[in-house]
Structure 1
Amino acid sequence: MSTSADPLAALASLPGVAESVDSMRKAVDRVYGHRVMRRRSAEITSEAALRGARGSAALSGADWALEEVRRRTDFGAEAEARTVGAALRMTAEAGQLLSIWRQSPLRVLARLHLVAAGGAAGAADGQAAGAAVGDTVGRPRLAGEPVDEPLVELPLPDAGEVAGRLDGLSRLLLAGSKAPALVTAAVVHGELLALRPFGTYNGLVARTAERIVLIGSGLDPKAICPPEVGHAELGRAAYVAALDGYASGTPEGMAAWIAHCGRAVELGVRESTAVCEALQRGAA
């Protein structure tokens, strides 16, 4: 497949992207080679899911301490709690959606939004199911429907543009690409944030979709490298600035966004490496 027929591969050739991919790949390989992973990988996966959900919720305005997220059982009391609950449910759901993603990414996005809004069977709390607003949950927004995503201040595409670009993204993913997983994950993440296709929870959906691409690609099959941790650690201002680069469509902006996402994965790796070290010492 030529780069002209493979836009994602063309992005992989932008200046600096290969270096970001290589640095991230080496970091991932190191944590997978940790001796603790041979015996206790399930514990690392579980902890990475918890920390990833916490990081994603923090970027959406619910910046809770990790131990608070770990301790709480009721996530329907107020807006921040609902955001944390949504992030936890989506992270738990992500691993179950890999086969569907390969066949229909749009179905997975709809499912993620349904889970975020608490409309899924077996939602973590009963009250959250009531947060679903009419028939707007689990489908892209229609003309005139509002969007609640205060972190992203980019111009909001209209519903027609959203539908067209979602269809284009789906076709791109289904066609396959020779591009590294980081490039594909960054484009999925950036495009969903730029479009904000749903009325709520777009940031959570976009970051979970990034996670699904990284897991499903084989880069992070055990889901132990949570990029959400890194995005939160890098901070909301850097996140928004990098997203502006993606939305600009310039080679420099796109490369900067991909590099930002790569750095986020590396920081997620660092977090899981620290968990491995703690388990090795018997401290966690």
Structure 2
Amino acid sequence: MSADPLSRLASLEGVPSAYAAARDGIDVVLRDRGLRRTSPETTADSLLRGAHASGVLEGSASSLVEVREGAGDEVARDAVRVSTELLGLAPALSRTPLQALARIHAVAAAGLPEEQRGRPRDEAAAERLRGIGGLLTGETSAPALLLAAVVHAELVTAAPFASHNGIVARAAERLVLVARGVDEKSLIVPEAGHLALRPAYESNLRGYAEGGPAGVHAWLLYAAEAYAAGAEASPLRRAAE
């Protein structure tokens, strides 16, 4: 195995330019829309918007207004619960990623029996989790956005936990962007980007799982587009409108 398993993916046709453009778009939003003036409330708003979008992608029927009022359905509440604890796990994601992922699942699945919270389904799932942990602790020259995209897709397609794998995957994706310095205050909303592009999101995840190298390539190109949409969904953009 390559010492940098992401390097090949980062050099695929169209990927370098797509991720450079996505990062530029994020940086423009963070720089030009008042990063120095942001507050904890702005971060909280971004996290709440992300929790709502992630919940909808997981099957929630709750509106953003309902989620804000604490009246969301069970899936929405699960996603919101993760969002309230997520940023505190950023240091652990880089040092002990398996513990961080287990904690995200345990928080999301608080209503399940204890033996199902934070634990992989079986040894095969545990092995996939170890591989994801290796990506998060290994040295790579790939952009942090690409790492986030791969971690997201791996968690969804491996489905290592008994439930809530999509919520875990999208939370981990956001956390990579925080931990790797792309968006330290967690002000963009990648989950909303995926929701805005939902048909492409779901079809490209299927392609990642079943489509071989072409499916992986298509997912990476899609994810760059989703990150650009997530930047547009930031509360910073909305505050400037």
TM-score grouping bracket, smaller chain normalisation:
over 0.9
**Structure 1 CA distance for aligned equivalents of residues 139 and 79 of structure 2:** 28
**Structure 2 CA distance for aligned equivalents of residues 66 and 22 of structure 1:** 31
1:135 to 2:115 alignment: yes
**Structure 2 CA distance for aligned equivalents of residues 112 and 58 of structure 1:** 18
Tell me the TM-score normalized by structure 1.
0.79
Match of 1:10 in 2: 8
**Structure 1 CA distance for aligned equivalents of residues 226 and 87 of structure 2:** 20
Amino acid aligned to 1:5: A
**Structure 2 CA distance for aligned equivalents of residues 63 and 249 of structure 1:** 30
Task: Tell me if structure 1 keeps the 8 A contact 2:125–2:161.
Answer: no
Tell me the TM-score normalized by structure 2.
0.93
**Cα shift at 1:239:** 1.8
Q: Secondary structure at the match of 2:185?
A: coil
Match of 2:45 in 1: 47
**Cα shift at 1:18:** 0.9
Q: After superposition, where does 1:98-137 map in structure 2 within 5 Å? A: 98-118=90-110, 131-137=111-117
Q: Highest Rg: 1 or 2?
A: 1
Match of 1:91 in 2: 83
Which region of structure 1 is more displaced relative to structure 2, 254-263 or 20-29? 254-263
**Structure 1 CA distance for aligned equivalents of residues 38 and 181 of structure 2:** 19
Task: Tell me if structure 2 keeps the 8 A contact 1:214–1:220.
Answer: yes
**Structure 1 CA distance for aligned equivalents of residues 49 and 70 of structure 2:** 14
Give the structure with the higher percent helix.
2
**Structure 2 CA distance for aligned equivalents of residues 228 and 63 of structure 1:** 16
Match of 2:197 in 1: 234
Q: Secondary structure at the match of 1:64?
A: coil
Match of 1:256 in 2: 218
User: Which blocks of at least 5 consecutive residues in structure 1 are unaligned?
Assistant: 76-80, 119-130, 142-158, 279-284
CA RMSD of aligned residues (A): 1.8
1:198 to 2:161 alignment: yes
**Structure 2 CA distance for aligned equivalents of residues 249 and 106 of structure 1:** 27
**Structure 1 CA distance for aligned equivalents of residues 2 and 101 of structure 2:** 27
Q: Secondary structure at the match of 1:135?
A: helix
**Structure 2 CA distance for aligned equivalents of residues 34 and 63 of structure 1:** 34
Equivalent of residue 29 in structure 2, options 28, 31, 34: 31
**Cα shift at 1:47:** 1.4
